[in-house]
Amino acid sequence: MKKDVVLLDGAVGTSLWAKAAAHGYEKVPVWVYNIEHPDIVEELVREYAAAGSQMILANTFGANGPAVKRSSTYTTPQVVKAGVEIAKRVLVGTGIKTVLAIGPLSTLLEPYGDMEEDECRAIYAEMIAAGMEAGAEAIMIQTFLDLAMMKIATQIAVSYGVPVFCTMTFEKVGKTMMGNSVEDVIRELEPLGIAGIGMNCSLGPDMALPIIRRFAEKTNLPLVFKPNAGLPISAENGNEVSACDAATFAQAVAPALEYVSYIGGCCGSDPGYVSEIARVLQQ
């Protein structure tokens, strides 16, 4: 087993919504909490740091221009800078890196949707510039379905000279919802000078492992692996819970440790899951 695997964090969105519910805060787009309830954002960063995460995502994933304008009176630079600054403030002196999280847009690019490439480029340019001005040390472009959109965001991100990681979300058939294969993703993104490539979200460890294994067969780039904690199931009390508990999840992702360089969790995971992965890494 590789000894140099970097431990990432787990879910930001689902974890913050859980904290919001516990505090009696309204369920809103999680980037709103950067300004209105920074206490829970700080709390989550501290918990991931304590769990062993070596790179932690700022709460910026969905804070793109159209989304911020649609759901608030804030601006994208306000929200993104606040998210990065919260993480950096908590992590100062720890050596843990603050990572700018960039997610997909809700509108598809032409010809599948109405968004033109120039508009898409401007949206990501604004978002990434704000995060870099606030001091993000790396960029994670994640949960993309559309390789063309991923490529636009990546081209902007790599121009800043910090490590850029790209992870797409795959269906169980091994392709993205837009039909992009592992080979397509590697062919288009590898030449851009990224620091890592892989997959996150959409699938639990069992169905995600064959996909990240295919990445390992097709590229020498460092691999990033952040599967979901399985599809949610209904508990006896009626609440939805993750199909994989923390210990089960950590054991389920363990086979990937032979060939991935970065590992963590996505939707449904939390600091407890990261702690269990850390335990497996130490064994």
Q: What is the C-alpha to C-alpha distance for residues 269 and 53, in angstroms, rounded to an integer? A: 13
Q: Would strands 138-144 and 196-200 be described as parallel, antiparallel, or unpaired?
A: unpaired
Q: Would strands 240-241 and 233-234 be described as parallel, antiparallel, or unpaired?
A: antiparallel
Task: Supply the pLDDT for residue 233.
Answer: 46
Task: Supply the pLDDT for residue 259.
Answer: 96
Q: Residue 208 corresponds to which tokens in the numbers above?
A: 């995600």
Is the backbone peptide bond immediately before 111 cis, with ω within 30 degrees of 0? yes
Task: Supply the pLDDT for residue 234.
Answer: 43
Q: What is the C-alpha to C-alpha distance for residues 282 and 109, in angstroms, rounded to an integer? A: 44
CB distance 40 to 16 below 8 Å: yes
Length of the chain, please? 283
Q: Nearest 5°: CA angle at 268, between 233 and 12?
A: 155
Q: Residue 216 corresponds to which tokens in the numbers above?
A: 């390992």
Task: Supply the pLDDT for residue 236.
Answer: 53
Q: What is the C-alpha to C-alpha distance for residues 44 and 42, in angstroms, rounded to an integer? A: 5
Task: Supply the pLDDT for residue 283.
Answer: 86
Question: b/e map of 125-153 (b: 16 or more CB within 10 Å)?
Answer: bbbbebbbebebbbbbbbbbbbbbbbbbb
Give the chain's residues under pLDDT 50: 1, 233-235
Task: Supply the pLDDT for residue 235.
Answer: 45
Phi first, then psi, for residue 224 (nearest 5°) are: -115, 130
Sign of the Cα torsion 191, 195, 196, 202 reads negative
Q: Which domains does the chain have, with CATH numbers?
A: 10-225 (3.20.20.330)
CB distance 19 to 47 below 8 Å: no
Task: Supply the pLDDT for residue 239.
Answer: 56
247 to each of 199, 251, 279, how far by Cα in Å? 21, 6, 9
